């Protein structure tokens, strides 16, 4: 690893002999380059609960919007539409008093898990009108299997999505924020 020392004017300092500039990777000389390299070692994309946590921790609305726009994907849009669109009804027993009987996957994050971003395409199975050929028992079994495949934090996030309680768990994560971030109208469709 190279240590970059800068002069007051922003130029890179010379080596200890003062004859040549210190050798470094060109991306390390800018903030944008450093930001790009910060995610290089990450094997998996940001998980949905991590994105929701970043939205929760952002101090103001522009920062919350920035987090959503930076992490925009088809899967994120599908999950958030299911969380906030009042027309989407989940065909699962949901509510505050209902305990979902699943065993949380306690393997370290990034090892033995599926990702909600990959499972999002199957969420239609759990909505009313999504797949009418499934019995309620089969639908609930598939949902429990999905939760058990996700890491515990991701599974908890999905449960809050299904219960439509994302704003209760992640402050400032509202339907209006999502509509503004993805340029959606009141029907959660592109303007």
* Domain ranges across the chain: 9-41, 48-181
Distance CA(94)–CA(176), nearest Å, equals 23
Q: Which helix (H) or strand (E) covers residue 181, if one does?
A: helix 175-181
pLDDT cut 70: percent of the chain above it = 75
Average pLDDT, the chain: 81
Q: Which residues of 117-127 are buried (b: 16+ CB within 10 A; e: fewer)?
A: bebbeebebbb
The dihedral over CA atoms of 120, 124, 127, 133, expressed in degrees to the nearest 10, equals: -140
The reported pTM is 0.73
16-33 tens-digit pLDDT: 555 555 455 555 556 666
pLDDT of residue 113: 75
């Amino acid at each position: 690893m190279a240590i970059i020392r800068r002069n007051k004017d922003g130029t890179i300092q010379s080596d200890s002999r003062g004859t040549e500039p210190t050798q470094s990777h060109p991306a390390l000389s800018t903030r944008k380059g450093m930001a790009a390299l910060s995610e290089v070692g990450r094997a998996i994309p940001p998980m949905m609960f991590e994105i929701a946590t970043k939205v929760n921790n952002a101090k103001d609305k522009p920062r919350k919007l920035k987090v959503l726009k930076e992490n925009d994907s088809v899967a994120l849009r599908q999950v958030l539409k299911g969380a906030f669109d009042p027309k989407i009804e989940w065909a699962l027993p949901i509510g505050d008093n209902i305990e979902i009987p699943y065993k949380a996957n306690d393997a370290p994050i990034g090892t033995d898990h599926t990702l909600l971003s990959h499972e999002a395409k199957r969420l239609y199975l759990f909505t009313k009108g999504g797949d009418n050929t499934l019995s309620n028992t089969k639908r609930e079994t598939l949902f429990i299997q999905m939760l058990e495949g996700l890491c515990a934090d991701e599974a908890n996030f999905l449960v809050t999505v299904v219960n439509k309680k994302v704003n209760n768990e992640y402050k400032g994560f509202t339907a209006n924020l999502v509509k503004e971030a993805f340029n959606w109208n009141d029907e959660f469709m592109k303007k």
